[in-house]
Protein backbone atom coordinates (compact mmCIF):
# COMPACT_ATOMS: atom_id res chain seq x y z
CA UNK A 1 0.00 0.00 0.00
CA UNK A 2 1.35 3.42 -0.98
CA UNK A 3 1.39 6.43 1.32
CA UNK A 4 1.50 10.23 0.86
CA UNK A 5 1.62 12.87 3.58
CA UNK A 6 0.99 16.62 3.70
CA UNK A 7 1.40 18.92 6.72
CA UNK A 8 -1.19 21.31 8.03
CA UNK A 9 -0.65 25.09 8.06
CA UNK A 10 -1.01 28.34 9.92
CA UNK A 11 -1.41 31.63 8.07
CA UNK A 12 0.64 34.31 9.79
CA UNK A 13 0.00 37.29 7.50
CA UNK A 14 -2.38 38.89 4.97
CA UNK A 15 -5.51 36.88 5.81
CA UNK A 16 -8.35 37.95 3.51
CA UNK A 17 -6.07 40.08 1.34
CA UNK A 18 -4.44 36.88 0.08
CA UNK A 19 -7.29 36.41 -2.41
CA UNK A 20 -6.29 39.70 -4.07
CA UNK A 21 -2.61 38.89 -4.37
CA UNK A 22 -1.16 40.17 -1.09
CA UNK A 23 2.01 38.35 -0.08
CA UNK A 24 1.37 35.66 2.56
CA UNK A 25 3.70 34.16 5.13
CA UNK A 26 2.50 30.73 6.25
CA UNK A 27 4.12 27.92 8.21
CA UNK A 28 3.60 24.13 8.35
CA UNK A 29 2.36 22.32 11.43
CA UNK A 30 3.79 19.15 12.91
CA UNK A 31 0.54 17.31 12.27
CA UNK A 32 -1.14 16.89 8.90
CA UNK A 33 -3.01 14.28 6.89
CA UNK A 34 -1.96 10.85 5.65
CA UNK A 35 -3.25 9.30 2.44
CA UNK A 36 -2.99 5.56 1.77
CA UNK A 37 -3.80 3.95 -1.56
CA UNK A 38 -4.01 0.56 -3.22
CA UNK A 39 -5.30 -0.58 -6.60
CA UNK A 40 -6.88 -3.86 -7.63
CA UNK A 41 -7.41 -5.12 -11.18
CA UNK A 42 -10.85 -6.63 -10.65
CA UNK A 43 -12.95 -5.09 -13.45
CA UNK A 44 -15.40 -3.57 -10.96
CA UNK A 45 -14.66 0.18 -11.32
CA UNK A 46 -15.20 0.80 -7.61
CA UNK A 47 -13.71 3.21 -5.07
CA UNK A 48 -13.66 2.13 -1.44
CA UNK A 49 -13.09 5.32 0.56
CA UNK A 50 -12.34 5.33 4.27
CA UNK A 51 -11.65 8.54 6.19
CA UNK A 52 -10.16 8.42 9.67
CA UNK A 53 -9.89 11.22 12.18
CA UNK A 54 -7.01 10.66 14.58
CA UNK A 55 -7.15 6.95 13.66
CA UNK A 56 -10.90 6.64 14.24
CA UNK A 57 -13.12 5.83 11.26
CA UNK A 58 -15.71 8.54 10.61
CA UNK A 59 -16.61 8.18 6.92
CA UNK A 60 -16.95 5.15 4.69
CA UNK A 61 -18.18 5.17 1.11
CA UNK A 62 -18.34 2.83 -1.86
CA UNK A 63 -18.48 4.69 -5.18
CA UNK A 64 -19.07 3.34 -8.67
CA UNK A 65 -16.83 5.63 -10.74
CA UNK A 66 -18.02 4.26 -14.07
CA UNK A 67 -21.43 5.79 -13.41
CA UNK A 68 -20.39 8.11 -10.55
CA UNK A 69 -22.89 6.76 -8.08
CA UNK A 70 -22.59 6.34 -4.32
CA UNK A 71 -23.46 2.72 -3.59
CA UNK A 72 -22.91 2.78 0.18
CA UNK A 73 -22.05 5.40 2.78
CA UNK A 74 -22.65 6.41 6.38
CA UNK A 75 -22.62 10.19 5.69
CA UNK A 76 -24.18 11.16 2.38
CA UNK A 77 -23.10 14.82 2.31
CA UNK A 78 -19.44 13.97 2.91
CA UNK A 79 -19.57 11.14 0.39
CA UNK A 80 -21.03 13.52 -2.20
CA UNK A 81 -18.08 15.88 -1.69
CA UNK A 82 -15.63 13.00 -2.14
CA UNK A 83 -17.46 11.91 -5.30
CA UNK A 84 -17.30 15.44 -6.70
CA UNK A 85 -13.60 15.73 -5.94
CA UNK A 86 -12.70 12.34 -7.42
CA UNK A 87 -14.78 13.07 -10.50
CA UNK A 88 -12.66 16.21 -10.93
CA UNK A 89 -9.59 13.99 -10.60
CA UNK A 90 -10.85 11.76 -13.39
CA UNK A 91 -11.29 14.79 -15.65
CA UNK A 92 -7.79 16.14 -14.88
CA UNK A 93 -5.69 13.02 -14.54
CA UNK A 94 -4.24 10.89 -17.31
CA UNK A 95 -3.80 7.86 -15.07
CA UNK A 96 -6.61 7.54 -12.52
CA UNK A 97 -10.16 6.20 -12.99
CA UNK A 98 -9.52 5.48 -16.68
CA UNK A 99 -10.03 1.71 -16.80
CA UNK A 100 -11.98 -0.74 -14.65
CA UNK A 101 -9.61 -1.14 -11.71
CA UNK A 102 -10.89 -0.71 -8.18
CA UNK A 103 -9.22 1.60 -5.66
CA UNK A 104 -8.89 1.44 -1.91
CA UNK A 105 -8.26 4.97 -0.63
CA UNK A 106 -7.81 5.82 3.02
CA UNK A 107 -7.16 9.13 4.76
CA UNK A 108 -6.15 9.89 8.35
CA UNK A 109 -6.39 13.43 9.67
CA UNK A 110 -3.88 13.71 12.53
CA UNK A 111 -5.22 16.89 14.18
CA UNK A 112 -8.67 17.77 15.55
CA UNK A 113 -10.92 18.83 12.69
CA UNK A 114 -11.95 22.04 14.49
CA UNK A 115 -8.36 23.32 14.65
CA UNK A 116 -8.59 24.81 11.15
CA UNK A 117 -5.12 23.60 10.20
CA UNK A 118 -6.04 22.47 6.71
CA UNK A 119 -8.11 19.28 6.60
CA UNK A 120 -9.26 20.16 3.08
CA UNK A 121 -5.98 21.52 1.70
CA UNK A 122 -3.99 18.50 2.88
CA UNK A 123 -6.59 16.24 1.29
CA UNK A 124 -6.46 18.09 -2.03
CA UNK A 125 -2.66 18.06 -2.07
CA UNK A 126 -2.43 14.35 -1.28
CA UNK A 127 -4.98 13.38 -3.91
CA UNK A 128 -3.29 15.59 -6.51
CA UNK A 129 0.12 14.05 -5.85
CA UNK A 130 -1.36 10.56 -6.09
CA UNK A 131 -3.09 11.31 -9.38
CA UNK A 132 -0.24 13.44 -10.79
CA UNK A 133 -2.29 16.60 -11.31
CA UNK A 134 -1.92 20.24 -10.28
CA UNK A 135 -3.13 20.59 -6.65
CA UNK A 136 -3.95 24.28 -7.13
CA UNK A 137 -6.24 23.45 -10.05
CA UNK A 138 -7.94 20.62 -8.17
CA UNK A 139 -8.44 22.84 -5.14
CA UNK A 140 -9.76 25.70 -7.26
CA UNK A 141 -12.51 23.65 -8.91
CA UNK A 142 -13.33 21.59 -5.81
CA UNK A 143 -13.16 24.18 -3.02
CA UNK A 144 -11.77 27.59 -4.01
CA UNK A 145 -9.70 29.93 -1.87
CA UNK A 146 -6.37 31.70 -2.39
CA UNK A 147 -4.31 28.49 -2.46
CA UNK A 148 -1.72 29.46 0.17
CA UNK A 149 -2.62 26.35 2.19
CA UNK A 150 -1.95 24.15 -0.83
CA UNK A 151 1.46 25.79 -1.17
CA UNK A 152 2.39 24.91 2.41
CA UNK A 153 1.17 21.33 2.02
CA UNK A 154 3.07 20.93 -1.25
CA UNK A 155 6.29 22.62 -0.06
CA UNK A 156 6.24 21.01 3.41
CA UNK A 157 7.92 24.22 4.51
CA UNK A 158 7.25 27.80 5.49
CA UNK A 159 6.37 29.73 2.33
CA UNK A 160 5.92 33.17 0.89
CA UNK A 161 2.88 32.92 -1.37
CA UNK A 162 0.91 35.11 -3.73
CA UNK A 163 -1.73 34.21 -6.29
CA UNK A 164 -1.66 37.21 -8.62
CA UNK A 165 -0.88 37.78 -11.42
CA UNK A 166 -0.39 34.00 -11.14
CA UNK A 167 0.24 31.55 -8.34
CA UNK A 168 3.80 31.76 -7.07
CA UNK A 169 5.37 30.51 -3.87
CA UNK A 170 8.83 29.99 -2.50
CA UNK A 171 10.15 28.08 0.47
CA UNK A 172 11.56 30.32 3.19
CA UNK A 173 13.40 29.67 6.42
CA UNK A 174 11.16 31.31 8.99
CA UNK A 175 12.90 30.40 12.20
CA UNK A 176 12.90 33.55 14.35
CA UNK A 177 15.33 33.55 17.24
CA UNK A 178 12.46 34.54 19.54
CA UNK A 179 10.20 31.66 18.42
CA UNK A 180 10.29 30.06 21.86
CA UNK A 181 8.57 33.19 23.19
CA UNK A 182 5.60 32.75 20.84
CA UNK A 183 2.42 30.88 21.75
CA UNK A 184 -0.72 29.79 19.91
CA UNK A 185 -4.15 29.77 21.52
CA UNK A 186 -7.10 27.88 20.08
CA UNK A 187 -10.35 29.82 20.39
CA UNK A 188 -12.55 26.75 19.87
CA UNK A 189 -14.99 28.82 17.82
CA UNK A 190 -14.70 27.38 14.32
CA UNK A 191 -15.48 29.97 11.67
CA UNK A 192 -16.68 29.61 8.09
CA UNK A 193 -13.76 31.13 6.20
CA UNK A 194 -15.93 31.54 3.09
CA UNK A 195 -18.28 33.79 5.05
CA UNK A 196 -15.36 35.99 6.05
CA UNK A 197 -14.02 36.08 2.52
CA UNK A 198 -17.45 37.05 1.17
CA UNK A 199 -17.56 39.95 3.65
CA UNK A 200 -14.09 41.02 2.56
CA UNK A 201 -14.97 40.78 -1.14
CA UNK A 202 -17.99 43.03 -0.64
CA UNK A 203 -15.72 45.93 0.29
CA UNK A 204 -13.79 48.20 -2.05
CA UNK A 205 -10.02 47.89 -1.65
CA UNK A 206 -7.08 49.64 -3.27
CA UNK A 207 -3.88 48.23 -4.67
CA UNK A 208 -2.01 50.41 -2.19
CA UNK A 209 -3.71 48.61 0.68
CA UNK A 210 -2.91 45.19 -0.81
CA UNK A 211 0.70 46.30 -1.23
CA UNK A 212 0.76 47.46 2.39
CA UNK A 213 0.06 43.92 3.58
CA UNK A 214 2.73 42.55 1.26
CA UNK A 215 5.20 45.01 2.81
CA UNK A 216 4.12 43.99 6.30
CA UNK A 217 4.71 40.35 5.37
CA UNK A 218 8.24 41.08 4.15
CA UNK A 219 9.06 43.05 7.28
CA UNK A 220 7.64 40.35 9.56
CA UNK A 221 9.74 37.71 7.80
CA UNK A 222 12.90 39.75 8.44
CA UNK A 223 12.19 40.51 12.12
CA UNK A 224 14.95 39.56 14.51
CA UNK A 225 13.55 41.19 17.66
CA UNK A 226 10.33 40.23 19.45
CA UNK A 227 9.42 43.86 20.18
CA UNK A 228 9.48 44.77 16.49
CA UNK A 229 7.61 41.56 15.58
CA UNK A 230 4.95 42.38 18.19
CA UNK A 231 4.57 45.92 16.85
CA UNK A 232 4.12 44.69 13.27
CA UNK A 233 1.62 42.05 14.32
CA UNK A 234 -0.40 44.62 16.24
CA UNK A 235 -0.34 46.99 13.26
CA UNK A 236 -1.38 44.16 10.91
CA UNK A 237 -4.30 43.20 13.17
CA UNK A 238 -5.53 46.77 13.43
CA UNK A 239 -5.37 47.38 9.68
CA UNK A 240 -7.48 44.27 9.03
CA UNK A 241 -9.92 45.36 11.74
CA UNK A 242 -10.27 48.82 10.26
CA UNK A 243 -10.94 47.43 6.80
CA UNK A 244 -13.46 44.69 7.59
CA UNK A 245 -15.03 46.80 10.35
CA UNK A 246 -14.87 44.07 12.95
CA UNK A 247 -13.25 44.38 16.39
CA UNK A 248 -9.94 42.66 16.96
CA UNK A 249 -9.93 39.37 18.85
CA UNK A 250 -7.86 41.04 21.55
CA UNK A 251 -10.51 43.69 22.16
CA UNK A 252 -13.19 41.00 22.40
CA UNK A 253 -11.51 38.34 24.54
CA UNK A 254 -8.13 39.58 25.77
CA UNK A 255 -8.35 43.33 26.27
CA UNK A 256 -6.16 43.16 29.37
CA UNK A 257 -3.55 40.84 27.82
CA UNK A 258 -0.01 42.07 28.40
CA UNK A 259 1.12 41.08 24.88
CA UNK A 260 -0.09 41.32 21.28
CA UNK A 261 -2.81 38.95 20.07
CA UNK A 262 -2.91 38.23 16.34
CA UNK A 263 -5.63 36.35 14.44
CA UNK A 264 -4.40 33.60 12.14
CA UNK A 265 -6.68 33.07 9.16
CA UNK A 266 -10.45 33.57 9.36
CA UNK A 267 -11.24 36.03 12.14
CA UNK A 268 -13.09 34.90 15.22
CA UNK A 269 -12.15 31.21 15.30
CA UNK A 270 -9.31 28.73 15.08
CA UNK A 271 -5.93 29.93 16.39
CA UNK A 272 -4.48 33.23 17.51
CA UNK A 273 -0.83 34.04 18.20
CA UNK A 274 0.59 35.84 21.20
CA UNK A 275 3.78 35.96 23.25
CA UNK A 276 4.63 34.54 26.64
CA UNK A 277 4.31 36.59 29.79
CA UNK A 278 4.37 35.67 33.46
CA UNK A 279 1.35 33.54 34.26
CA UNK A 280 0.20 33.33 30.63
CA UNK A 281 -1.14 29.79 31.00
CA UNK A 282 -3.30 30.69 33.99
CA UNK A 283 -4.44 33.85 32.17
CA UNK A 284 -5.75 32.03 29.09
CA UNK A 285 -7.14 29.10 31.07
CA UNK A 286 -8.94 31.54 33.33
CA UNK A 287 -10.72 32.98 30.32
CA UNK A 288 -11.78 29.52 29.16
CA UNK A 289 -9.13 28.96 26.48
CA UNK A 290 -7.38 25.80 27.60
CA UNK A 291 -5.58 24.79 24.39
CA UNK A 292 -2.29 26.69 24.36
CA UNK A 293 0.72 25.56 22.33
CA UNK A 294 4.31 26.69 22.31
CA UNK A 295 6.05 27.06 18.93
CA UNK A 296 7.82 23.71 19.07
CA UNK A 297 4.59 21.94 20.05
CA UNK A 298 2.74 23.03 16.94
CA UNK A 299 5.07 24.31 14.20
CA UNK A 300 7.28 22.00 12.18
The Cα–Cα gap between 95 and 37 comes to 14
Q: What is the pLDDT of residue 228?
A: 98
Q: What is the pLDDT along the chain (300 residues), one digit of tens a residue?
A: 999 999 999 999 999 999 999 999 999 999 999 999 999 999 999 999 999 999 999 999 999 999 999 999 999 999 999 999 999 999 999 999 998 999 999 999 999 998 999 999 999 999 999 999 999 999 999 998 899 999 999 999 999 999 999 999 999 999 999 999 999 999 987 555 566 677 787 888 899 999 999 999 999 999 999 999 999 999 999 999 999 888 999 999 999 999 999 999 877 668 999 999 999 999 999 999 999 999 999 998
Q: What is the pLDDT of residue 131?
A: 98
Q: What is the pLDDT of residue 226?
A: 98
Separation of CA 249 from chain center: 20
Tell me the DSSP string of 52-94.
EETTEEEEEEEEETTTTEEEEES-HHHHHHHHHHHHHHHHH-S
The Cα–Cα gap between 148 and 154 comes to 10
Q: What is the pLDDT of residue 270?
A: 87
Classified as helix, coil or strand, 172 is coil
CB distance 79 to 59 below 8 Å: yes
Q: What is the pLDDT of residue 200?
A: 81
The Cα–Cα gap between 60 and 104 comes to 11
The Cα–Cα gap between 47 and 104 comes to 6
- Give the chain's domains with CATH numbers: 2-171 (3.30.230.10), 179-298 (3.30.70.890)
Amino acid sequence: MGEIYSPGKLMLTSEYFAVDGALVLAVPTKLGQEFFFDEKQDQKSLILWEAYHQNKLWLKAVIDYKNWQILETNIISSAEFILKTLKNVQNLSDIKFKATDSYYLKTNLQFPADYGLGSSSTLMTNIAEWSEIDPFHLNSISLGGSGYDIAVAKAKSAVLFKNKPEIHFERVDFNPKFKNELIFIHLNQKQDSREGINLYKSKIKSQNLIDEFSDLTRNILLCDELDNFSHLMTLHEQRISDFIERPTVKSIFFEDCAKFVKSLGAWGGDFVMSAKFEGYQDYFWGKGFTTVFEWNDLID
